[in-house]
Amino acid sequence: MIRYQQCPSCGSEKIQKEITVKDHSVSGEEFEIWRCSNCHLFFTQHIPNESEIGKYYRSENYISHSDTRKGIVNKLYHLIREYTLGQKKNLLQKSCGLQRGSLLDIGSGTGSFLTTMQKAGWEITGIEPDKIARKNSEELHHIKPLEPAAIKDLPSSSFDAITMWHVMEHVHQLQNQFKELNRLIKPEGRVFIAVPNHTSGDADHYRDYWAAWDVPRHLYHFSPESMRFLAGKFGFTIENYKPMWFDSFYVSMLSEKYKSGKSHLLSALISGIKSNLKAMKNVEHCSSVIYILEKVR
């Protein structure tokens, strides 16, 4: 287990406990979430190390690895995903100014986004740490993602786009990951990082039941302020912020289930709407935010 004495983002010792959260989806264990007063990152304290955390992903309900369609929440997830895959493709092409190029998808899961981009004519490379997800990627989409250690062998400045769709919060070596992003992206390329936002309306509403805490799998809990700090520290600027409108509904449905044991779809719908209305005034309050990074020149 890893217990931080310093902030994993900035190294500051000005850290303190913020909240205690239960792992509702796998273990039932409780974990503390701490915050840094210097860079404003929230992080899960006393986390399993890289060799031990795998058991916290071993659930048939963990959709990014199993691709399960069991239950109404996961069925809705699949319906919405088909739409959002096209949105992500369009966003990537528009932001990069390219119809075709080279893509690295880190944390590629079962390969659905890579497949979308391959069909659009892009050269694709995927990295996925989970062996079950890699197996499912090959069986479902005939795509063979690389294991994480292979990232060091990829040539520098070789990708027009790098994507991390709800992945950065899972990476143990946070600073090393940002260094690799800077090394691998072309000077004119774009990096797309989508993460939950603990300053969103739905996070404020559900508090310790907020599903996007997802401890201990989510090692970090980002806000726009903490992401700006990290981007600047590793040679990036945030070119744009994009909302992920559907996430507030998906997270609210799971949060309702964690809170009461039932889905309560109407309550979740109302919570999602309220959260998105808040975010319409400022995208930095969205349940999840896509940060589009470019290199400092």
Phi-psi region of 109 (alpha: psi -120 to 50; beta: other; left: phi over 0): left
CATH assignment at residue 278: 3.40.50.150
Helices and strands of the chain, counted as H and E runs: 9, 10
Give domain status of residue 166, yes or no. yes
Give domain status of residue 267, yes or no. yes
What is the C-alpha to C-alpha distance for residues 252 and 205, in angstroms, rounded to an integer?
9
What is the C-alpha to C-alpha distance for residues 156 and 179, in angstroms, rounded to an integer?
11
Cβ-contact 40, 229 below 8 angstroms: yes
Residue for token digits 């072309």?
186
136 CB neighbour count, 10 Å cutoff? 19
Give domain status of residue 8, yes or no. no
Average model confidence (pLDDT) across the chain? 93
Tell me: pLDDT of 14 over 70: yes
Tokens found for residue 250: 């998906």
Tokens found for residue 239: 């070119």
43 sits in which H/E element: strand 42-44
What is the C-alpha to C-alpha distance for residues 257 and 265, in angstroms, rounded to an integer?
9
- Is the CA virtual torsion 31, 37, 39, 40 positive or negative? positive
Give domain status of residue 5, yes or no. no
Domain with 239, as residue range(s), is 15-295
- The string of pLDDT tens digits covering residues 273-297 is 999 999 999 999 999 999 999 999 8
Adjacency order of strands within the sheet including 185-196:
123-127, 102-106, 159-165, 185-196, 288-295, 236-243
Question: Strands 102-106 and 159-165: what pairing?
Answer: parallel
Tell me: pLDDT of 64 over 80: no
**E strands of 128-235, at which residues?**
159-165, 185-196, 220-221
Write down the pLDDT at residue 252: 97
The residue-averaged pLDDT of 248-269 equals 93
What is the C-alpha to C-alpha distance for residues 111 and 101, in angstroms, rounded to an integer?
18
Residue 152: which pLDDT band, with cuts at 50, 70 and 90?
very high
Tell me: pLDDT of 78 over 70: no
Domain count of the fold of the chain: 1
70 CB neighbour count, 10 Å cutoff? 11
pTM (2 d.p.): 0.92
Give domain status of residue 187, yes or no. yes
Query: Which amino acid, one-letter code, is at 111?
Result: G
Tokens found for residue 258: 């964690």
Give domain status of residue 236, yes or no. yes
What is the C-alpha to C-alpha distance for residues 90 and 99, in angstroms, rounded to an integer?
9
Write down the pLDDT at residue 75: 62
Tell me: pLDDT of 68 over 60: no
Residue 66: which pLDDT band, with cuts at 50, 70 and 90?
very low
Tokens found for residue 45: 């304290």
Give domain status of residue 127, yes or no. yes
- The string of pLDDT tens digits covering residues 99-151 is 999 999 999 999 999 999 999 999 999 999 988 899 999 999 999 999 999 99
Tell me: pLDDT of 79 over 80: no
Give domain status of residue 53, yes or no. yes
